[in-house]
Amino acid sequence: MGTLSLSDYEDVRIWAPWGHIAGRWYGNRSERPILAIHGWLDNLGTFDTLIPLLPDYLGVLCIDLPGHGCSARLPAGMHYSTAEFILIIARVMKEYKWPKVSLMGHSLGGVLSFIYTALAPHTVDLVISLDILVPPLESPESLKLLGYALDKHLVEDERAEEALMREPPSYTLAQLRSVLSKGSNHSVPPEFAQYLLHRSVTKSQLYPEKFYFSRDGRTKYYNILPLNSALAAEMARRIRNKPYLIIKGSKSPFISARSNEAINILRNQNPHFEYYEVPGTHHVHLISPELCAQYIVPFLRHHRPPTVSSWSLAGEEQKLSTREHRKAQENFFARNLKRLSKL
């Protein structure tokens, strides 16, 4: 058995009342895949460096959340929220008639996985959470952010109306890489920004060498649904005997003391709970995917083992060396840079 290939995929469009959810299904398309959900303001490109390290007997369906990547925006006047994003998981399951779902989420995607699993634990067979567990807990700071976001959301409504009449501000690719890196608090270095930009920008019609962000500006100010500590703990208690893997980036603040109670509950009542810390930032799965894959691959092999029908004579283990994997990243980077230049 080998590893997945970035070139072996099918682009999919999942119907939604406001348009569609865009996705990319890698590898095996004859069995239920892992459903991968990206973080806030990112898109499915966040998994591009991790995909080639995962076992090829399992498919991975990566999706763009509404307003992100190539997915449709919500109608004018609507407000993005955690509640709407959680419903996307159910929509995808309904589309493919899955009785259960295997979830892998980074950041916001990990929060959605936690909440959905707590609400419908009987429909989830495993969770992989990358550098997150619970959403922000209630605090004076979180309330201030909610108030700030309400005002900013109205500003984005006005900008969206203006964009219908004239093109948004455009930038060079070098400028966009810098902007994206700064917006991630430098969790994504400029040289890795390409993995996210190729689904987040559109070529300017006014300036041939420039591009502008195509994601919905309202996503910057979505309702994050802060939980109180008691509710977060109760949600963790609902996740019993469920294979749950958490990987934390050592330089990231997104798993902190506020997550300890929920983590301890999961650990104490769940023999299938695993927690690891690896060197890196919030986007460690993108920047150093090998560090994450060393735990994700055995976790998947144990809890989603290959079926007999997926075995073959070519089943010798094929593990990409660091050099081979970096070469695959470089080739992918070059292809998408070429694609952007042709837009």
In this predicted structure, the answer to whether residue 267 has a pLDDT above a threshold of 80 is: yes
Tokens of 332: 């992918």
- Position 332 scores a pLDDT of 58
**pLDDT tier for residue 315 given thresholds of 50, 70 and 90:** very low
- Position 1 scores a pLDDT of 65
Average the pLDDT over 285-289 and give the result. 98
In this predicted structure, the answer to whether residue 215 has a pLDDT above a threshold of 60 is: yes
Lowest mean pLDDT, pick from 34-48, 259-273, 274-288, 306-320: 306-320
Cα distance between residue 240 and residue 273, in whole Å: 10
Q: So which residues are the catalytic ones?
A: 107
Write down all domains in the chain, each with its CATH number in brackets: 9-138+218-342 (3.40.50.1820)
In this predicted structure, the answer to whether residue 309 has a pLDDT above a threshold of 70 is: no
Cα distance between residue 165 and residue 184, in whole Å: 30
- Position 148 scores a pLDDT of 80
CA-to-CA separations, 248 to 18, 107, 132, 192, 259, in angstroms, rounded: 35, 10, 7, 19, 12
Average the pLDDT over 159-174 and give the result. 84
